[in-house]
Chains A and B, each alone.
Chain A
């Protein structure tokens, strides 16, 4: 029972264009969502988060959108840079999960010069 899903295992984008990474969840009790970026042989690095009381959070080139009715969130990176090439995980917490993060399986982003 996968509660957090990232249906695109990979995404390729041209440098300077927008990257849109998507994430769906099934548990309506989730109330906090995070995006992590992971380079090979390193641990996940926190990127941006959003609470369920918001529908958008922006930090520089990164914006996360939350659509609670659709149980969907997305991460927009604009403009995309080659250094953004990594695996991106979305994660969710809340409800009866305590502090536990439930991760999606990740989307590998490749930004081509």
Chain B
């Protein structure tokens, strides 16, 4: 009964070779997020989709793109992976975005995909 599923769990790619990570959810949540977590660091938001609306973080490199073809699926594309892109990539979902002050939305995370760049 996994709710946020990420495939694959481990991905090895070559320097400069495009790679796609996938995420699916059974929660029917409106919002899907992609985070990057490097070793011993805090997860860092790359971008999120609110329904079909794409929201990029200002400091997310152009090398990272995302697609959300439907409510259930979201993909992270890394066009030309560098050695510095080796990390754990976490997908998360939330029912909605916060509407009112103090009215937070819990995010639910998948197990992550660990990316290794050779």
One digit per residue, 1 when the CB lies within 8 angstroms of any chain B CB and 0 when it does not, for chain A 79-113 equals 00000000001000110001111111110000000
Our pick among B4, B43, B105 for the contact of A99 (Cβ within 8 Å) is B105
- Closest chain A residue, CB of each to CB of B40: A105
Number of A-B contacts (CB under 8 A): 81
Closest to A87 in B: B40
Does A4 lie within 8 Å of B98, measured CB to CB?
no
Question: A93-B98, A103-B42 are contacts. A43–B112 as well, Cβ < 8 Å?
Answer: yes
- Contact indicator B109/A49 (Cβ below 8 Å): no
Q: Which residue of A lies closest to B43 (CB)?
A: A103
Task: Report yes or no: A99 in contact with B109, Cβ–Cβ below 8 A.
Answer: no
- Closest-by-CB residue of A relative to B91 is A43
Cα-based distance from A28 to B103 in the complex (angstroms):
15
- Across the interface, B103 reaches (CB within 8 A) one of A4, A32, A34, namely A32
**A94: chain B residues within 8 A (beta carbon):** 98, 101-102, 104
B48 within 8 A of A: yes
Q: Main SS of the interface on chain B?
A: loop
Provided the pairs A43-B109, A44-B43 are in contact, do residues A99 and B31 lie with their beta carbons within 8 angstroms? yes
Is there an interface contact between A99 and B97, defined as CB atoms closer than 8 Å? yes
Task: Show the binding face of A for B, using Cβ within 8 Å.
Answer: 4, 31-34, 36, 41-46, 49, 51-53, 89, 93-94, 98-106
Interface residues of B (CB under 8 A from A): 4, 6, 9, 31, 33, 40-45, 48, 50, 55, 57, 90, 92, 94, 97-98, 101-112, 114
| 9 tightest Cβ-Cβ pairs between the two chains A and B | A32-B104, A43-B109, A103-B42, A51-B102, A99-B97, A31-B102, A43-B111, A53-B102, A44-B109
